[in-house]
Amino acid sequence: MEKCTFYDIGSKKANAYIIYENKRVIAFLDIHPAAVGHTLVIPKNHYEKLSDIPSTTAQSLMTAIHTVVRHYRTKGIQNFNVLHASGRDAQQSVPHCHFHIVPRKRNDGLNLWYRSVKQKPQNFKRTEKKLRFR
Ligand SMILES: [Zn+2]
C-alpha cells in the first residue's frame, strides 16, 4: 500500500476533525468541504473501492453513516446528500473508500445530482438480462 492519508487518519497517524468512530469506521470533517459540516465516513482499514470491502465492514459503514446523520438531525441538519465514488472513472479522488455526507440548505447553490441519459426499452431489457442475479 502506498502512503494513504485516510489510512493515517483512521490509525491516528494524521490529525483530523473526528466526529465519530468505532472499531472499523471513522467519520471526520472533509478538509475541502462543499458545505459546513461536510463529513467523510471511511473504513479504518485500507480498501480502495466499495466492492473491495468485506460485507461486515460495509455494514459498519452504512450503520456509521446512519448514526452520523441521525446525530446531525439533532444538531439541526435536516437535509443532506450521501455521495460515494468507486474508481477513477467514477471521479473517486482519494483511493481509499469513503462516503461523503454533505449537509444541504434551501438555495445553497450546490448541485450534486446528475442528468439522466435517454434509453430505449430494449436497452433496459438487455441490461436487466446482463446484471440480474441468477
Ligand atoms: Zn487508504
State the distance from the centre of ligand 1 to the C-alpha of 95, rounded, in angstroms: 7
Amino acid at 77: I
Residue 90 has a pLDDT of 97
pTM recorded for the entire structure: 0.94
Q: What is the pLDDT of residues 2-21, one digit of tens each?
A: 899 999 999 999 999 999 99
Catalytic positions are 98
State the distance from the centre of ligand 1 to the C-alpha of 87, rounded, in angstroms: 13
Percent of all residues in the chain with a pLDDT value above 70, rounded to a whole number:
99
Q: What is the pLDDT of residues 74-113, one digit of tens each?
A: 999 999 999 999 999 999 999 999 999 999 999 999 999 8
Distance (Å, rounded) from C-alpha 78 to C-alpha 89?
31
Domains annotated for the chain, with CATH where assigned, are 5-131 (3.30.428.10)
Q: How many residues appear in the chain?
A: 134
- Pairing of the two strands 39-43 and 79-84: unpaired
Residue 1 has a pLDDT of 64
Residue 2 has a pLDDT of 81
